[in-house]
């Protein structure tokens, strides 16, 4: 009995040592600077790394009516060359999940217990705490990036996020503070990172899913971005102007 | 005169689509341009946009003050600009798409530095802005 206890103890320690030894190699390293792939502006994606297009949000009928009307207004404004009315116009950052398609490169810093993602536009940072339990949405104060936890499933980083302010929207889709975003990130190739996104909320008839691809940049250092002097403004008639005077 | 075009590298060009989505250029008249020759009074390296301000003598010899918008410092940086590319007191030639509302300002399209270097500020969809001046 005693001998077998020692033997199983030794086995456990052996397994633990093996696990520790295997840890660094077990997970891919996402650290580095990334830009969205393919770069916006018409470049064609290699089909092996192509992202999955973002469909319209699968809103329940009672929310879809307003969304459709707003989309029409938005389309009209874009055609008129007027601001789309999103956060950047007001010097406010994207929040989640929009920051993952922020307009500039992003940097990933990876530690076993925490992974940070910084988007150059507006110095946006999300902090992903590894191997912790996702708090319930009403246990956290709603914020732009929410509360995020992560864990590894083999080579895939699974990140869950909740607690996003209901007015921090992506593609103008209405949602509640209980919205949950699940991301599955894995490398398609050493320099191609795929982020498969699933968004669930009471406003949706079914989960809203798509995938982004990011391409690793060589030797790029993120620059500071503090939105400190927004001289553009939208007047009462909806037209945009520049403040010329001091 | 040495003309050196510093083209924003492809990343800046790649960023045009979201830039257009977030930002309206409708306040600038892209059907014509205005060329200004004068002294820089301010070069402001800030987000969300950088600005170049100039004093330009008009035909009657009185100075008029112009404000020109540029892209963001990070995009300018990727296009070869820095916070020290121009400084107050420099005599430069600027080409801009003027503001539609008649205020003295516009969107900077080209800048020729005192040493003759011609700088392009990486305007998204630059081809849409006609240079007529």
State pLDDT tens for residues A99-130.
999 889 999 999 999 999 999 999 999 999 99
- The sign of the dihedral angle between the CA atoms of A45, A47, A49, A52 is positive
Q: Is A232 in Cβ contact with B15 (below 8 Å)? A: no
User: B interface toward A at CB cutoff 8 Å?
Assistant: 10-11, 13-19, 21-27, 44, 46-49, 51, 67, 69, 72-74, 77, 99, 101, 103-105
- Number of structural domains (chain A) is 2
Q: Is A88 in Cβ contact with B22 (below 8 Å)? A: yes
Cα of A35 to nearest chain B Cα, Å: 9
- Confidence class for position B1, pLDDT limits 50, 70, 90: very low
Nearest chain A residue to B105 by CA distance is A244
Query: Which of the residues B9, B12, B13, B15 would you substitute to probe the A interface, choosing the one with the greatest number of A C-beta atoms within 10 Å?
Result: B15
Mark whether A37 and A16 lie in a shared domain.
Answer: no
End-to-end CA distance of chain A: 86
Do the beta carbons of residue B52 and residue B108 sit within 8 Å?
yes
Mean pLDDT over A193-202 rounds to 98
User: Which chain A residues contact residue B16 at CB under 8 A?
Assistant: 40-41
Mark whether A170 and A209 lie in a shared domain.
Answer: yes
- Is A190 exposed, middle or buried (CB count within 10 Å of its CB: 0-12, 13-18, 19+)? exposed
**Distance separating alpha carbons of residues A121 and B72, to the nearest angstrom:** 10
CA-nearest of B21, B5, B4, B3 to B125 is B21
Q: Is A230 in Cβ contact with B48 (below 8 Å)? A: yes
Mark whether A6 and A123 lie in a shared domain.
Answer: no
Q: Is A41 in Cβ contact with B15 (below 8 Å)? A: yes
Mark whether A20 and A131 lie in a shared domain.
Answer: no
- Which of B48, B99, B101 is facing A88, going by the closest CB pair? B48
In percent, the amount of chain B with pLDDT more than 90 equals: 69
User: Which chain A residues contact residue B11 at CB under 8 A?
Assistant: 35, 39, 105
Nearest chain B residue to A235 by CA distance is B27
**Distance separating alpha carbons of residues A97 and A103, to the nearest angstrom:** 13
Mark whether A125 and A225 lie in a shared domain.
Answer: yes
End-to-end CA distance of chain B: 19
Q: Is A231 in Cβ contact with B15 (below 8 Å)? A: no
Mark whether A186 and A111 lie in a shared domain.
Answer: yes
Domain that holds residue A105: 31-242
Mark whether A219 and A130 lie in a shared domain.
Answer: yes
User: Which chain A residues contact residue B101 at CB under 8 A?
Assistant: 241
Q: Is B48 in Cβ contact with A227 (below 8 Å)? A: yes
Do the beta carbons of residue B32 and residue B90 sit within 8 Å?
no
**Distance separating alpha carbons of residues B31 and B11, to the nearest angstrom:** 26
- Which of A40, A80, A223 is facing B14, going by the closest CB pair? A40
pLDDT tens, A50-102?
999 999 999 999 999 999 998 888 787 767 666 555 677 788 999 999 999 98
Q: What is the ipTM of this complex?
A: 0.75
Q: Is A104 in Cβ contact with B15 (below 8 Å)? A: yes
Do the beta carbons of residue A184 and residue A151 sit within 8 Å?
no
Do the beta carbons of residue A164 and residue A143 sit within 8 Å?
yes
Mark whether A131 and A9 lie in a shared domain.
Answer: no
Q: Is A242 in Cβ contact with B104 (below 8 Å)? A: no
Q: Is B13 in Cβ contact with A83 (below 8 Å)? A: no
CA-to-CA dists, residue B1 to B89, B90, B112, B117, angstroms? 21, 17, 11, 8
Q: What is the pTM of this model?
A: 0.81
Mark whether A121 and A162 lie in a shared domain.
Answer: yes
Mean pLDDT over B120-129 rounds to 87
Q: Is B104 in Cβ contact with A88 (below 8 Å)? A: no
* Domain B10-128: assigned CATH number: 2.40.50.140
Mark whether A63 and A156 lie in a shared domain.
Answer: yes
Q: Is B73 in Cβ contact with A227 (below 8 Å)? A: no
pLDDT tens, A7-66?
565 555 655 555 544 455 589 999 999 999 998 767 789 999 999 999 999 999 999 999
Query: What would you report as the CA-atom Rg of chain B, rounded to the nearest whole angstrom?
Result: 14
Cα angle B16, A44, A181; round to 5:
75
């Amino acid at each position: 009995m005693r001998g077998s206890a020692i033997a199983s103890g030794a086995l456990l320690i052996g397994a633990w040592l093996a696990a520790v030894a295997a840890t660094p190699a077990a997970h891919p390293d996402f650290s580095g600077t990334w830009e969205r792939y393919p770069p916006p502006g018409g470049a064609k994606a290699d089909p092996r790394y192509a992202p999955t297009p973002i469909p319209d949000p699968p809103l329940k009928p009672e929310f879809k009516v307003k969304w459709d009307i707003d989309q029409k207004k938005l389309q009209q404004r874009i055609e008129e060359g007027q601001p789309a009315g999103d956060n950047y116009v007001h010097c406010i950052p994207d929040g989640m999940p929009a920051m993952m398609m922020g307009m500039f490169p992003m940097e990933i810093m990876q530690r076993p217990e925490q992974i940070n993602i910084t988007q150059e536009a507006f110095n946006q940072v999300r902090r992903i705490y590894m191997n912790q339990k996702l708090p319930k949405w009403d246990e956290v104060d709603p914020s732009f990036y929410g509360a995020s936890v992560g864990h590894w499933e083999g080579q895939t980083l699974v990140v869950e996020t909740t607690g996003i302010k209901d007015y921090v929207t992506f593609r103008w889709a209405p949602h509640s503070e209980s919205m949950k975003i699940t991301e599955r990130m894995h490398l398609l190739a050493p320099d191609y990172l795929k982020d498969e996104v699933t968004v669930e909320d009471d406003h949706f008839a079914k989960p809203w899913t798509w995938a982004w691809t990011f391409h690793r940049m060589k030797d790029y250092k993120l620059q500071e971005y503090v939105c400190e002097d927004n001289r553009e403004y939208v007047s009462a008639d909806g037209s945009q102007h520049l403040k010329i005077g001091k | 005169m040495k003309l050196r075009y510093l083209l924003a590298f492809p990343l800046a060009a790649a960023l045009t689509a979201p830039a257009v989505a977030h930002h309206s250029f409708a306040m600038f008249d892209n059907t014509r341009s205005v060329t200004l020759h004068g002294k820089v009074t301010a070069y402001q390296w800030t987000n969300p946009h950088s600005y170049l301000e100039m004093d330009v003598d008009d035909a009657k010899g009185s100075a008029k003050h112009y404000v020109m918008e540029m892209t963001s410092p990070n995009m300018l940086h990727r296009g070869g600009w820095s916070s020290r590319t121009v400084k107050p007191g420099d005599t430069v030639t600027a080409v801009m798409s003027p503001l539609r509302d008649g205020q003295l300002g516009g969107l900077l399209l080209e800048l020729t530095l005192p040493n003759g270097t011609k700088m392009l500020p990486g305007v998204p969809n630059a081809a849409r802005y006609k240079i007529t001046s």
